[in-house]
Amino acid sequence: MNMKNILSATLLVAGLFTAQTAAAEVRFFQDAGRADGKVAMSFTIKADGSISDARITRSSGNAATDSAAIEWMQHQTMRPVFVNGEAKDFRIVKEIKFAA
């Protein structure tokens, strides 16, 4: 197998993976867009800005909305918290409003 064939196969696989990921994200945001209500959530903003350990602290009263809120939050990226010039993990509680 020559280098051109290897490169072509690699690009094809990367393109298919990207398309599948994009389709999954579109479905997720369509479902999340149907959520309605308010939830209070706790989560950790990691030093790299990613979100971890998202939990409902006060339910919206609707399990589907609560589930959508957790899934939505886990897809977010936020600015990290800096202490003395160093990014640190930071736990926060926040009320989030969803409107369909």
Q: Which tokens belong to 100? A: 């369909």
* Number of structural domains in the chain: 1
Per-residue confidence at 62, pLDDT binned at 50, 70, 90? confident
Range of the domain at 24: 3-98
CATH number at residue 27: 3.30.2420
- The pTM for the full model equals 0.61
What's the pLDDT at 15? 45
Count the alpha carbons within 13 Å of 78 in the hemisphere toward its beta carbon: 20
Q: pLDDT for 35-56, tens place per residue?
A: 667 889 999 999 999 999 999 9
The answer to whether residue 77 scores a pLDDT higher than 60 is yes
